[in-house]
Chains A and B, each alone.
Chain A
Amino acid sequence: MKEIWAIIRIDKVNQTKRALVAAGFPSLTARKCAGRGKGNVEYLIRPTAGAEQYEEASHPAEKGPKLMPKRIMMLVVPDALKDKAVQAIMSANQTGRPGDGKIFVMPVLDAIRIRTGETGDTAVDEHQQPQGTSL
């Protein structure tokens, strides 16, 4: 299994969720975070959007790149489906401008579904699950 972390723009969260459901990965965990990348971020829509939410964004002592609000999406997928998930996230988020985010792929030793006690790939195989509500 692989764990995929995608650090993406906050306004792309819904598009990414829809793209992942369409590709067959409905389950994920997301959380808010703040981050900075290698260099300059283009402020295209609202120039002060970051500064309002995060005090550090306008921290006077900080000379370097500013912290921007982002969202981390974390999902665990079987080895064979790793590229499909990466492609789905990439196609939903790519605008070609700096600040689109990063995707990291990490190994996972084991996964256990708490409800049934299943382990390994069967615990993360979403295709065996009954269909839930569609987004």
Chain B
Amino acid sequence: MVMIRAIVRPEKAMDVMTALLYAGFPAVTKTDVFGRGKQRGIKIGEIVYDELPKELLILVVPDKDKQLVVDTIMKAARTGAKGAYGDGKIFVTPVEEAYTISSGVKDTD
């Protein structure tokens, strides 16, 4: 299994979650985060905003679905045809075990 963490624009979070639902991945956890990227935030006039609000979406999926989920998020989270600075990042990390608490069962893939 792999954990996919996607940091997306807050206004795109619901679009991404709807796209994931239709792609067959209903299970998502969402939380508010603040951060900056390699552009070092945004400068509007004299003021630099270096901690921009984003949403962090967390999914754990089988290895074989990794590319499908990444493509789905990428397509839904992009601004405009080519994308823009600030659209976010996707990180993929390994997960060794997963348990469903209600049944106590260890999930296999």
- Find out whether the CB atom of A102 lies under 8 angstroms from the CB atom of B18: no
| Cβ of A61 under 8 Å from chain B | yes
In the bound complex, CA of A101 to CA of B41 (Å): 35
> A96-135, CB under 8 A of B: which get 1 and which 0?
1111111111110000000000000000000000000000
- Find out whether the CB atom of B96 lies under 8 angstroms from the CB atom of A94: no
- Find out whether the CB atom of A106 lies under 8 angstroms from the CB atom of B93: yes
In the bound complex, CA of A86 to CA of B107 (Å): 13
| Cβ of B27 under 8 Å from chain A | yes
- Find out whether the CB atom of B98 lies under 8 angstroms from the CB atom of A105: yes
Which of A36, A61, A101 is within 8 Å of B101, CB to CB? A101
| Cβ of A52 under 8 Å from chain B | no
- Find out whether the CB atom of B60 lies under 8 angstroms from the CB atom of A104: yes
In the bound complex, CA of A99 to CA of B21 (Å): 18
Cβ contacts under 8 Å, B104 to chain A: 90, 94
Cβ contacts under 8 Å, A39 to chain B: 26
Which of A33, A65, A89, A94 is within 8 Å of B26, CB to CB? A65
Cβ contacts under 8 Å, B29 to chain A: 7, 33-35, 70, 72
In the bound complex, CA of A101 to CA of B100 (Å): 6
Cβ contacts under 8 Å, A90 to chain B: 99, 101, 104
